[in-house]
Amino acid sequence: MAPPFRAEHIGSLMRPADLLAARSAAGVTSSYSQLTEEIQVLTENAIADVVAKQLELGIRPITSGEYERDKFYSGFFENLQGMEVIKDIPITKGYRTNFPTLRTLKSLGIPTRDSIVAVDRIRYTQSPYLSEWKALRARLPQEQWKDCKMTMPPVTHSHMQMAVGTAYRPNAYSSDREYFKDLAEAYVAEFQALYDEGLRSIQIDDPCLLFFVTDEFRAGCVADGVNPDELLDEYIWAHNQCLLGKPADLHVGLHLCRGNMAGSTHIMSGSYERIAKKLFTELAYDTYYLEYDTDRAGDFEPLRHLPIGKNVILGVVSTKSPELEDMNELVTRVHSAAEVIARGQGRSVAEVLESSLGVSPQCGFASMSSGGGCGMTMDIMWKKLLLVEQLAKQIWG
């Protein structure tokens, strides 16, 4: 089955300056901050404007730009019963050894970070994101709900970052498997709640999963007494648990990138090759949204492992650079990727293009509120998104 959108974007969009200024003035700067009534009104107005702009330009899928959130992972875990925000965890002591994100934070002079810990058994008592979905769909007639997409953080988010054994309290869980089982059940319930209210496309953002391609992270696992290959297997199991019982017509994809902090900052580099076969063949996602805007991601060869029946959205347009890519070069790159997939699947390039590919930017334009690549502006962002649409039309008509 072909991906739901040939031209995609990764969900987050640059926030308007007045919204950022109001949030800063109100002290709404934490990943887990609650919005005041005044900021909520400003946020809803900004969402209305960004949805109208997507409709005007024909940008699909339609998203809220993640304007409700400070960061891409905000809003989910802290709204599950049993999960608690722990403030100011020391970067050097409270997190995994050699966790790549922390190296970047330390270089920026940031000594602590907030995280989410299970202090009791995790229970899904209400939908964390249903209010976001209802706010988005309220801006559209029902026949256009199918054109929308929402993003969610990964089930592995806290566990992968926190020091071994600290993602949950001993009174809550006695093993990682127990912890992930309850957390995955919350995902199953959330997928169903959003589906029941009309959502048909969800994207899981898991940039940290690519840390398994780096010697740095893997060495840190060993230093912590953890086998990195066994940990990756556990994470694949946890991801797949989230997809159990998924409605057949609910599309769920996985976005993988190498970091998207403000100022064009990335966290790591490296090819998908080291883990590609495992990710493509063992994970149960419909679609993979992959970073491919620079040589930081390596070549297309890992795509030879993609099975028939799964899709790849090629992130060939950069959110980190303001320069517009050359259309002919983009078309050539998409065909080069299709050739690799076709060789691996024993099919023709035409069959792969028809059934398995789409295009997008490599990441969101603002994975955090104050995000945005160097030199990136709202005007350039929309030009980049239109470039993606034009690329799709040139290849698929």
Q: Is the pLDDT of residue 364 over 70?
A: yes
Question: For 24-28, 78-82, 108-112, which range has the lowest pLDDT when averaged over its residues?
Answer: 24-28
- Residue 232: pLDDT band (50, 70, 90) is very high
Please indicate, yes or no, if residue 78 is contained in any of the structural domains: yes
| Residue 5 covered by a domain | no
Is there a domain that residue 7 lies in? no
Q: Name the residue range of residue 359's domain.
A: 17-396
Does residue 108 register a pLDDT over 80? no
Average pLDDT rounded to a whole number, residues 3-14: 95
Task: Look at residue 59 and tell me whether its pLDDT is greater than 90.
Answer: yes
Residue that wins the pLDDT comparison between 373 and 30: 373
114 backbone dihedrals φ, ψ, rounded to 5°: -85, 155
Residue 262 is predicted with a pLDDT of 59
**Confidence band, pLDDT 50/70/90 cuts, at residue 260:** low
| 374 is a domain residue | yes
| 6: in domain | no
| In-domain check, residue 282 | yes
Q: What is the pLDDT of residue 106?
A: 78
Predicted pLDDT of residue 33: 64
Where does the pLDDT of residue 296 fall: very low under 50, low under 70, confident under 90, or very high at 90 and above? confident
Burial of 216 per CB tally in 10 Å (0-12, 13-18, 19+): middle
Percent of the chain topping pLDDT 70: 96
Which comes out higher in pLDDT, residue 82 or 373? 82
Are residues 331 and 290 in contact, defined by beta-carbon separation less than 8 angstroms? Answer: no
Q: What whole-number percentage of the chain has pLDDT above 90?
A: 80
The answer, yes or no, to whether residue 1 has pLDDT greater than 80, is no
Write the DSSP string, 156-225: THHHHHBPTT-SB-TTT-SSHHHHHHHHHHHHHHHHHHHHHTT--EEEEE-GGGGGGG-HHHHHHHHHTT
pLDDT at 191 over 90: yes
Give the C-alpha separation, 11 to 225, whole Å: 36
In terms of C-beta density within 10 A (0-12 exposed, 13-18 middle, 19 or more buried), how is residue 145 classed?
Answer: middle
Evaluate if residue 151 carries a pLDDT over 50. yes
Confidence of residue 172 (pLDDT cuts 50, 70, 90): very high
Of 29-33, 80-84, 204-208, 301-305, the poorest mean pLDDT is in 29-33
Question: What does the pLDDT read at residue 266?
Answer: 60
Is 1 part of any domain?
A: no
Q: Comparing 31 with 323, which gets the higher pLDDT?
A: 323
Tell me the mean pLDDT in the region 224-242.
98
CB burial of residue 87 (10 Å; 0-12, 13-18, 19+): exposed
Position 157 in a domain: yes
Residue 265 has pLDDT above 70, yes or no: no
Is the pLDDT at 122 greater than 50? The verdict is: yes
Asked whether the predicted pLDDT for residue 111 surpasses 80, the reply is: yes
Structure tokens at 94: 């409270």
Q: Per the omega criterion (within 30 degrees of 0), is the bond before 61 cis?
A: yes
CATH code at position 392: 3.20.20.210
Looking at residue 282, its pLDDT comes to 98
Per-residue model confidence (pLDDT) at position 131:
94
Neighbours of 26 (CB within 10 A): 14
- Looking at the 3D structure of the chain, how many domains does it have? 1
Q: Please compute the mean of the pLDDT values over residues 339-355 and round it to a whole number.
A: 97
Report whether pLDDT(264) > 50: no
Give the mean model confidence (pLDDT) for residues 213-220: 94
Joined together, the tokens standing for residue 377 give: 């502006």
Residue 343: pLDDT band (50, 70, 90) is very high
53-59's contacts with Cβ under 8 Å and 24+ in sequence apart are 53/382, 55/140, 57/382, 57/385, 57/386, 57/389, 58/389, 59/7, 59/9, 59/382, 59/385, 59/386, 59/389
**β-pair partners for 379:** none
pLDDT at residue 285, as a whole number: 97
End-to-end CA distance of the chain: 18
Residue 263 has pLDDT above 60, yes or no: no
Residues 6+ away with beta carbon under 8 Å from 5: 60, 61, 149, 201, 358
73-97 tens-digit pLDDT: 999 999 999 999 999 999 888 999 9
Flag whether pLDDT at 138 surpasses 80: yes
Q: What is the pLDDT of residue 270?
A: 82
Token pair listed for 129: 């994101």
